[in-house]
Amino acid sequence: MRSQKMQFKKLRTDVLIIGGGTAGCYAAMTIAQNSPDTKVLICEKANIKRSGCLAAGVNALNAYITKGCTPQDYVDYARHDAAGIVRGDLLLTMSENLNSVTAHLEQLGLVILKDENGNYVTRGKRNLKINGAFGFNVNEEIFYSITAKAVIICTGGAAGLYKPNNPGFSRHKMWYPPFNTGAGYAMGIRAGAEMTTFEMRFIALRCKDTIAPTGTLAQGVGAKQINSLGGVYEDKYGLTTSQRVHGTVMENISGRGPCYLKTAGITAQQDDALIKAYLNMAPSQTIKWLESGKMPSEQNVEIEGTEPYIVGGHTASGYWVDTDRETTIHGLFAAGDVAGGCPQKYVTGALAEGRIAALSALKYIAAQSISEISDEKISENFSRAEKFLNNKNSRFSCEQLEEAMQTVMDRYAGGIGTNYRYNDRQLDIADERISQIQTLTDELCAEDMHELMLIYELRERLTVCKTLIAHLRARKETRWHSFAENLDYPQRDDENYLCCINSKLENGRIKIIKRRLIKEGERYEHNDRP
């Protein structure tokens, strides 16, 4: 192979893990413990010490089963929050693993809050086969072809699809890591894997500007959501995340904004505890308090909804997997935010799924040998990457096209700018514009490997946008306010939509498939694989 800019390297492994965040690292650890001879390779664009969602730290493990509760209780809670659209089999198998992974984390040195009896304290409920993957080094000019018996995909969800809260200098001060750009979703979509529930977007309710968590205030000091007239409005709209966001939007539209969490009047001790809690997880909020000269006890905290994300750790978006977490592509397993059907999994749920996927992958590789990737495929993928390094004089920059994508999604696919609402005509425009931007990316040029990564990230997000738009269009109802607020169909329709909306790419077109909901206790297997 004649290489112009990049060198070419072949790597071989038994299990390839793409993404070294929470789920990926735990999957690797599980394989090392259960089968020390199995070779594992983790591919990750950043250092695994801080990659993924938890770079800033996390101040609470949201999911474990507390005393007196059962894994089934957790399933019921998640099902209620998602208005029914969940996979019982996935939620139950995840929930059954929550406490053992939590105990394992504690053994590894994590400090977890317990009550006087030593119990964990509750924080409030909340026919294709894979041969490997291609990748490139983000620092050095090297292109890799990696063959593996099995692949576990743990790349997280997708941020940066929509125009963010603060599109200027602080554009990346967002809830979800801006570096999670939906790579894993895009890889699966292009490979023809079946995806589920992309229409159930996630929108976080956050402290304004700093996009710091509000749960710490709501659950920590019992702060209620109030409007600018002082009226508590959360009772009016409901307490699920989507209802809390919706209520805030409605109060603003009705002229009663801005909205706040009522912290004024809390004690000095509570101030102190909040200052520390936020330093551990979202230091910008603490700095904001210190810079304003007013502590939360003296000033209510303004809140706002974020731009929408696709993230399977909070909602049910992601790969359609069987109970063992195998995707519809043989040998490709999914865990964490990239895996669908199992919302509210959070950190411990990602660990639990990493374990389940790792054990399934180990079982699978026992009967597999490595199959080589064809030279033709290698050359096709190498040349595509190489082309961007050789392109000259692109009319647009990657950044301009990224902004174009975010503006289109904001205006026509229910972003902050339209109060998260959309109709079919708007979605048509969004779909057309995203396709146009996709063609414009062909001529982008990369000066170095970092810029090449940015081009790939943009193209991945555009692929995710196309699938997302198809899903928003397919669920002709409004089941979750804000998350999927379809103005053509403002009512919930259980008769037709108490089901999963799935999709897969077939001959360049996104095909929508309705699937029944799988219940806990069932073992779901793919029996009509692509």
Partner 1 sequence: MSIMIDREKCIGCGKCAEVCPGNLIKLDGKAFIRYPKDCWGCTSCVKECKVNAVKFFLGADIGGMGSLVYTRQKGDILTWVIERPDGSVKEIDINRKESNRY
Interface contacts to partner 1, rule CB under 8 A: 45-47, 49-52, 55-56, 59-60, 111-113, 138-139, 166, 168-174, 177-179, 209-210, 216, 219-221, 273-277, 279-281, 283-284, 286-288, 290-292, 450, 453
Alpha carbons within 13 angstroms on the beta-carbon side of residue 520 total 18
Minimum gap (Å) between residue 455 Cβ and partner 1: 14
> What's the rounded Cα separation, in Å, for the pair 232 and 248?
11
If the CB atoms of residues 351 and 453 are measured against partner 1, the closer one turns out to be: 453
CB of 234 to partner 1, least distance (A): 18
Choice between 447 and 495, CB closer to partner 1: 447
Other beta carbons within 10 Å of 67: 11
Q: Is 527 helix (H, G, I), strand (E, B) or coil?
A: coil
Q: Are 312 and 342 in contact (CB under 8 A)?
A: yes
Least distance between partner 1 and beta carbon 167 (Å) = 9
Of residues 279 and 487, the one with the C-beta less far from partner 1: 279
Tell me the C-alpha distance between 505 and 520, whole Å.
28
Indicate the residue among 55 and 499 with the shorter CB distance to partner 1.
55
* Least distance (Å) between residue 349 CB and partner 1: 19
Q: In degrees, to the nearest 5, what angle opens at C-alpha 345 toward C-alphas 208 and 517?
A: 115
Nearer to partner 1, 17 or 518 (CB): 17
Q: Which residue has the tokens 């317990």?
A: 114
Structure tokens at 170: 């602080």
Cβ 19 to partner 1 shortest distance, Å: 12
Of all helices (H) and strands (E), which one includes residue 166? Answer: none
Least gap, CB of 56 to partner 1 (angstroms): 4
Nearer to partner 1 by Cβ, of 170 and 423: the residue is 170
In the complex with partner 1, which residue's Cβ is closer, 452 or 469? 452
Note whether 60 and 219 are within 8 A (CB).
Answer: no
Distance CA 48, CA 118 (A): 31
DSSP state of 240: S
Taking the least distance from each CB to partner 1, the nearer of 69 and 279 is 279
Nearest to 487 by CA among 405, 413, 408, 409: 413
Task: Compute the distance between CA of residue 456 and CA of residue 398 in angstroms, rounded to an integer.
Answer: 10
Which residues share a beta bridge with 76? none
Minimum distance, C-beta of residue 453 to partner 1, in the bound complex (Å): 8
Least distance in Å: CB of 169 to partner 1? 4
Q: How far apart are CA 116 and CA 349, in angstroms?
A: 26
Measured CA distances, 3 to 108, 164, 392, 450, 455 (Å)? 45, 39, 18, 19, 20
From its phi and psi, is residue 155 left (phi > 0), alpha (psi between -120 and 50) or beta? alpha
In the complex with partner 1, the residue whose CB is nearer, 166 or 419, is 166
| CB closer to partner 1 out of 128 and 404 | 404
Q: How far is the CB of 513 from partner 1 (least distance, A)?
A: 35
Give me the least distance between CB of 159 and partner 1, in Å please.
Answer: 9
Is 51 or 394 the residue whose CB approaches partner 1 more closely? 51
User: At its nearest, how many Å lie between partner 1 and the CB of residue 367?
Assistant: 37
Residues in contact with 244: Cβ distance below 8 Å, sequence separation at least 6, in sequence order: 205, 225, 234, 237, 238
CA atoms within 13 A on the CB side of 16: 25
Residues facing residue 41 across a β-bridge:
16
